[in-house]
Amino acid sequence: MSDNMYDDLKSQFESFLDPQNAAYAAEDVFEGDRILNENPAPMPSEQLKARIKSRVRLTLMRTRRVSSRRFVYQLAAAAAAIIIVFGISIQMVDNKPGHIRPIAQISAAVWDGTNITSDDAELSRLSAGIEQVEQELSGTQLTLNIADSADAADELEMELINIDSDFWKG
């Protein structure tokens, strides 16, 4: 402990005490430091220092292993997040309001052309076909009805003849 140190102590105490008390306080601390210097604490053994050094090495290795494992986990998490986001965005594009999807497989199969002119011709041909089928169907129904009425008249005539002959017979 040098005189410089004593002076430094004194000046530090002078910030809080008057010069005389600061000098006493500095002397007490100076003497206290001298006692501590005269009674040194034991030093750590070389074995202890060697043990600490090897423990530090192990801790460093473990820290490095943990950091690299953490890096791999973070990488895996980032990859998973990218895959999820990609999947969700594809689904969102598919569900967009303007996006036209085929209603059923049948219509897609029947109406697979993209040429409007040929589609119109097909449509009118189909309409004509439907009309023709309808006409044939109603014609058949009419013929069927006429035939039924003729049979009924014959039956009625036969009944009348029978009635007439029965009348004259008494």
Which residues make up the interface to another protein (CB under 8 A)?
Answer: 12-13, 15-16, 25, 28-29, 31-33, 35-36, 39-44, 48-49, 51-53, 55-57, 59-60, 63-64
* Complex with another protein: residue 27 or 122, whichever CB lies closer: 27
Tell me the closest approach of the beta carbon of residue 6 to another protein, in angstroms: 14
Task: Between 37 and 91, name the residue whose CB sits nearer to another protein.
Answer: 37
> Which are the contacts of 27, defined by CB distance < 8 A and separation ≥ 6?
6
Nearer Cβ to another protein (43/103): 43
Report the nearest approach of another protein to the CB of residue 84 (Å): 33
Of the pair 14, 122, the CB lying nearest another protein is at: 14
Burial 28-46 (b: 16+ CB within 10 A, else e): ebeeeeeeeeeeeeeeeee
CA 136 – CA 10 distance, rounded (Å):
129
